[in-house]
Structures are given as structure tokens and as C-alpha cells.
Homo-oligomer: A and B are copies of this chain.
Amino acid sequence: MKSCLMRAALLSLATCAPLLAAAPPPPLPAEHLTLTTLPPNSPHRIYVLDEAFLNEIDARIDLFDGDTYRRLGQIDAGFNPGFNLSPDGKTSVVSTTYWARGARGARTDVVEFTDNTNLSVTHEIVLPPKRAMTLPTYFNIGYSSDSHFLYVSYVTPAASFGVLDPAKGTVLDEIDTAGCVLVIPSGPNRVASLCESGRLQTVTLDAQGHEASRAMSDPFFDADTDPVFVQGVPITGGYAFLSFLGQVHEVDFSGAQPTFQKPWSLLSAADKAQNWRPGGAQVGAIHRKLGKLFVAMHRGGEGTHKAPGTEIWVFDMKTHQRVARWPMAPQKLASALAVQVSQDDAPLLFAATENADIAVFDALTGELRHVEKKFGQTPWLMMNP
């Protein structure tokens, strides 16, 4: 009888109905308070960085499951954080700043390591008070390919970066970048930075994390006429940088020095005449295996590079042809500030709108699967494993 009552409570009264006869249903069992275990990692998990701009000392990263449409948990992120995942996806790193009295008092810059299986902070590394306080990109903080080094961008406004040993929890060195900014890791020991001259500066490290050599590339863009967004989009072996006017600069970082593909344009003559441009906070995402680029596009002139996309355009990275355009408004969605795509064979496209909604699309068809309303305050960057 007891087991039947248990089954009744757990499954359905129907199965035990004959036994219960005229008796009232059993009361619900007492519950015990538990701690939720995260489901196994999934390619459809996404890490949404909510800058919480109106309460900026309280930024956070919210984990969301693109299949169940459930929040999975939260990683606190302080003020104006950098964020990235370790190459194996098991660790989240947040570079951030705290003050002893909220927004005042003694300043502590720190990198916090979170175990992505239970969302507990495992350890931290205190930084010199030089961390670049700016919008989140892929390049505020990042691991070397073998996870032996962790690089953190500094701007005081003099530009440099920190080399950290994430396993030992130590700062190994600070390397001056002569005005070039951000950290673009490649291989086990190279860090590139973006320079105002349109060049990439690459610093190669020795085994102790100190500078072994540095080199400057040729210019690949012109900051006066058509600057690139600093939000590079991962491609196989490197990153694609989109420009304000819609050029795509694919950069291969797999060799000792970066190499540049011939840039191509997102825009036809007709598109240009209509003033279409990429824009937003996280402007593009690429499914590497499928070779598909998703870009938030809007119509506008000079100064609209942060305007969100009224449409998401899809390009074939091989043919450079646009293969789809998915307007937001017909789906009753606000414009897209940030886009990200899962890397699996049934890919999901995530779009964070200027209303802070997260829209989930089938990335193959553009079918809208779900809208998670008001996902925090200002979701400006989405990362996935």
C-alpha cells in the first residue's frame, strides 16, 4: 500500500485507483530542501552576460538551456566584467572589479574561476588595478589553447595585458602592448592585439609567460574610413572581423603570424544604396562546420554601428552570398543587439534584443522556437561551449 501511495503521489492516481476506492487521495509527501545539480553540458547551453547597465556593479552571467528554455543558474560578475570559457568548457572565467563600499572605496581587480558543473567559485587571482573596464567581447580575457596561460586585457589608459597561471593562481607578468588593445589568444603562447593603425601586434611568450618576441602585421583595415568591430567572431583557426560598412575580414591566427584573407562585403550595391549595415553589441556569429555567418543588420548612417539589427542576415562563408534574411519585427521581436549560434548539427541561433528578450531560432531554417522575455537588464554578450 505504501509503495502504491508513493506511486500515486509520483505518477498518477489512476494506476492505484482500485486500491484507494472511496478513500481521499493521499496527502502530498513532505519534501526535503535540496540543491539542484546542473544537467550535463549541452551544445544548446548558452552563457548570457547581463551587464546590468543601470546597476552596473551587479553584472551577472545567466546560463540558459535552448532546449528546455529554462534558466540553469547564475554566475555573479561584478562591474564591467570580461568573460570567457576555458577551452574544455568546464570553467568560466570572469575578470571584474569590486569596491569595498559598493561603488566606492578600495578597488580590487580580480579573475574569478567558476566550476561550470556546479556554478561554485573555485578560486580567484587578484590583479593589479589595471583591468580594461569596457564592454564585453571575446577578447577581454582568454585562455591559451592548452589552458596553461590566461590573458587579461589592461587599459589604464596605457594598454597592456596580464599573463596568469590559472592552475597555480598567480600573475606571471604584465606585457606592454604599445597602445594596441585586447587579448586575442592563439596557440599555446601567442597573444595578438588590435592597433589603431589597423595592424595586429603579436606577442609570443616563453614557457614562463614572459615576452619572447613581438611582431606587427600589415594593416588589414583603416580605422578612419572603415573600422572593424572589436567583437571578432570565431572561425576555424581564427576570427572574422566585420567592419562598420560591412566588410568581412577573415584572419587566420593558426600560424606564427596572422594572415589575412581577401575581405569581402556583406552588401550588394542595392543593399548599400539602402544603407544596410551591421551593428549592435555582439554583431555576428558563425557556425564553423556549416560555414554560415549570422549578422545583425540595420539601415543607418555614420554613428549607427551600435544600432541593433532589424534583421538577421545569413551568409555562406564560402560563396560570400547571402542565403537568408530574417526580419525581427514580423516575429514581434525587438531588434537584435547580440547574436550567437550553437556549433552542433541541429544548431540554434540565439538573439538578444534591445528589450532584453532572448529569442531562440532554428539556425537552419530561421523558425522562431521560443522567446524568453526580459532576460535580465542588458544582455550584451552570449557565449557557448
- Interfacial residues, chain A to chain B (CB-CB below 8 A): 52, 54-58, 76, 78, 98, 100-104, 108, 110, 112, 121, 124, 377
Set of chain B residues within 8 Å of A112, measured between Cβ atoms: 101
Most buried by B among A55, A76, A110: A55
Set of chain B residues within 8 Å of A76, measured between Cβ atoms: 101-104
Using A55-B55, A377-B54 as known contacts, say yes or no to A110 and B121 having CB atoms under 8 A apart: no
B100 and A108 form a contact (CB under 8 A):
yes
Bound-state CA distance A123–B100 (Å) is 14
A57 and B54 form a contact (CB under 8 A):
no
Given contacts A52-B58, A76-B104, 20 further A-B contacts (CB under 8 A): A52-B55, A54-B55, A55-B55, A55-B58, A55-B377, A56-B58, A57-B57, A57-B102, A58-B58, A58-B102, A58-B103, A76-B101, A76-B103, A78-B102, A98-B100, A98-B101, A98-B102, A101-B110, A101-B124, A104-B121
Set of chain B residues within 8 Å of A103, measured between Cβ atoms: 58, 76
Nearest CB in chain B: distance from A382 CB, A: 20
Bound-state CA distance A54–B377 (Å) is 9
Nearest CB in chain B: distance from A102 CB, A: 5
Bound-state CA distance A104–B377 (Å) is 21
Bound-state CA distance A104–B57 (Å) is 13
Nearest CB in chain B: distance from A160 CB, A: 24
